[in-house]
């Protein structure tokens, strides 16, 4: 155990161990990868004390830009190694991890650029009765200390989406990554220090949500929580925050609609990728597919063909498309949901097999409307195909979950696209691509139980700053 690389807590530039060791495993081979050390309660308190003190001397926007830009360059320079590290700790194919690493470069670069664009507005105060001689404008100031709690399913880029904007906005930030995947988060912190970030502005506390994440949330000196993870954890955190602000990026039961005028081949190929990439462990993964009856057979044929071409196996192998799920327990749960749907009358078109943590890409039809696979987040490479004839009815179905992150619709008809855009109650509606489509600079976030607040550096910076009004009157009174 001691020969393994260590993943340590970071407080004020010092890397710290504790007595609470945890082994991080290779998610495909099961081999030990590293030993991580859970933060003690005192470490969490210290991390916040240090961040509080450091946040009183924010960097100027140009300094923030230069540091974040340098980190983007470092990620790009270490692309292959980072992708391999993420593939090992997450189980996602190295192909996918290279893509995520490239995205993290963009996230840090965009954060750097946005650090130079934090502005306020002039308020036309003279128009108010009695205010003709005054001036007013707003500025945006850092919130202070940001606590960033991240999930296992994007170990580098989701951390970048929190750390980049938090620092760009002038805050100190403390990261609490998933205990399944702490390696990439620690690597990102190290790059920030190497780029010259004052050490008090970045902290890393390791361990599970309870108690480490909770301790971070419960410390009232943490001004803002940016959380990505399950809706259950998001609700538990929200309930503890009181008046403190937060961004909650939570779960979804993502749907994509394919209309009869769609380009069926392109839609099926995109849906296969959107459903099975990262073994379906993406918050916007295509889980419910509503297909117009006129194109159902053609679509199913193309979707099955695309699924059968996917290569399952060791995520480190460059030819692998799909690696294991995060744990055998997660794969077993997914398998149980498939079996339960079959017991309720569903038919497996392809897949349905599990070996250890590997779940084969699975397509089902005739899934009962109340089956868990249509109502709850599966977070697995499992997609249910449901035929439809009536667009309004299918839009109602897509809206009929507690969630609202993103949805996709394939159509060539402008009216249909606009109807979907206006009536799907989601944070984002994607036309002619799947629900699982994201560029890192775009505003991204959910409604309803999918959460609140917005990611994308420009929007996250808005969330992680406070708007302050400055109202000025000439010292000599009105003239």
Q: By the criterion CB under 6 A, which residues form the site for ligand NAD? A: 149-154, 176-179, 208-210, 213-214, 217, 228-230, 233, 236-237, 249-252, 283, 377, 379, 405, 446, 450-451
Q: Which of 268, 200, 212, 214 is nearest to 433 (CA)?
A: 268
Smaller CB separation from ligand NAD, 153 or 360: 153
Smaller CB separation from ligand NAD, 238 or 344: 238
Smaller CB separation from ligand NAD, 361 or 404: 404
Smaller CB separation from ligand NAD, 197 or 237: 237
User: Which tokens hold the place of 256?
Assistant: 């994509």
Q: How far is the CB of 474 from ligand NAD (least distance, A)?
A: 48
User: Which tokens hold the place of 12?
Assistant: 């004020």
Q: How far is the CB of 134 from ligand NAD (least distance, A)?
A: 42
Smaller CB separation from ligand NAD, 160 or 264: 160
Q: How far is the CB of 410 from ligand NAD (least distance, A)?
A: 22
Q: How far is the CB of 346 from ligand NAD (least distance, A)?
A: 23
Q: How far is the CB of 403 from ligand NAD (least distance, A)?
A: 9
Smaller CB separation from ligand NAD, 151 or 170: 151
**Catalytic sites, residue numbers:** 249, 283
In contact, 39 and 48? CB cutoff 8 Å: no
Q: How far is the CB of 251 from ligand NAD (least distance, A)?
A: 3
Q: At what angle do helices 61-77 and 94-115 cross, to 10 degrees?
A: 160
Smaller CB separation from ligand NAD, 37 or 388: 37
Q: How far is the CB of 236 from ligand NAD (least distance, A)?
A: 4
């Amino acid at each position: 155990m001691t020969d393994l690389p260590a993943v340590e807590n970071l407080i004020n530039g010092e890397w710290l161990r504790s007595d609470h060791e945890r082994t991080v495993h290779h998610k495909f081979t099961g081999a030990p990868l590293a030993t991580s050390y859970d933060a003690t309660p005192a470490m969490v308190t210290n991390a916040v004390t240090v961040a509080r003190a450091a946040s009183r001397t924010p960097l100027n926007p140009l300094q923030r830009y230069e540091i974040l830009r340098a980190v983007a360059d470092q990620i790009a320079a270490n692309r292959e190694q980072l992708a391999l590290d993420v593939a090992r700790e997450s189980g996602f194919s190295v192909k996918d991890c290279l893509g995520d690493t490239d995205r993290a470069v963009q996230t840090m670069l965009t954060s750097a650029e946005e650090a130079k664009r934090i502005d306020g507005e002039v308020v036309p105060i003279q128009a108010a009765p009695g205010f003709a001689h005054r001036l007013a404008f707003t500025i945006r100031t850092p919130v202070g200390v940001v606590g960033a709690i991240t999930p296992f399913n994007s170990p580098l880029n989701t951390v970048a989406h929190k750390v980049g904007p938090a620092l760009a906005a002038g805050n100190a930030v403390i990261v609490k990554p998933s205990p399944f995947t702490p390696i990439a988060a620690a690597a990102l912190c190290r790059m920030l220090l190497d780029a010259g970030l004052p050490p008090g502005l970045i902290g890393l506390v390791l361990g599970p949500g309870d108690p480490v994440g909770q301790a971070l949330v419960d410390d009232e000196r943490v001004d803002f929580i940016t959380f990505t993870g399950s809706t259950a954890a998001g609700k538990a955190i929200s309930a503890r925050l009181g008046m403190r602000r937060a961004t909650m990026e939570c779960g979804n039961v993502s749907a994509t609609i394919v209309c009869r005028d769609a380009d069926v081949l392109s839609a099926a190929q995109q849906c296969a990728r959107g459903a099975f990439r990262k073994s379906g462990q993406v918050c916007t993964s295509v889980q419910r597919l509503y297909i117009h009856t006129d194109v159902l057979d053609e679509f199913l044929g193309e979707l099955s063909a695309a699924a059968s071409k996917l290569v399952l196996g060791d995520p480190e192998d460059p030819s692998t498309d799909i690696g294991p799920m995060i744990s055998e327990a997660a794969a077993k749960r997914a398998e149980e949901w498939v079996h339960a749907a079959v017991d309720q009358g569903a038919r497996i078109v392809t897949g349905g097999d599990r070996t250890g943590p590997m779940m084969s890409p699975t397509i089902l039809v005739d899934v009962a409307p109340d089956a868990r696979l249509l109502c709850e987040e599966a977070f697995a490479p499992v997609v249910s195909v449901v035929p439809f004839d009536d667009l309004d009815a299918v839009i109602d179905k897509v809206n009929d979950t507690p969630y609202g992150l993103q949805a996709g619709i394939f159509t060539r008809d402008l009216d249909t696209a606009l109807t979907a855009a206006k009536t799907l109650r989601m944070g984002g509606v994607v036309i002619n691509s799947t629900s699982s489509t994201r560029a890192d600079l775009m505003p991204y976030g959910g409604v309803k139980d999918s959460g609140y607040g917005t990611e994308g550096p420009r929007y996250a910076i808005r969330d992680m700053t406070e708007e302050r009004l400055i109202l000025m009157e000439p010292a000599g009174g009105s003239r």
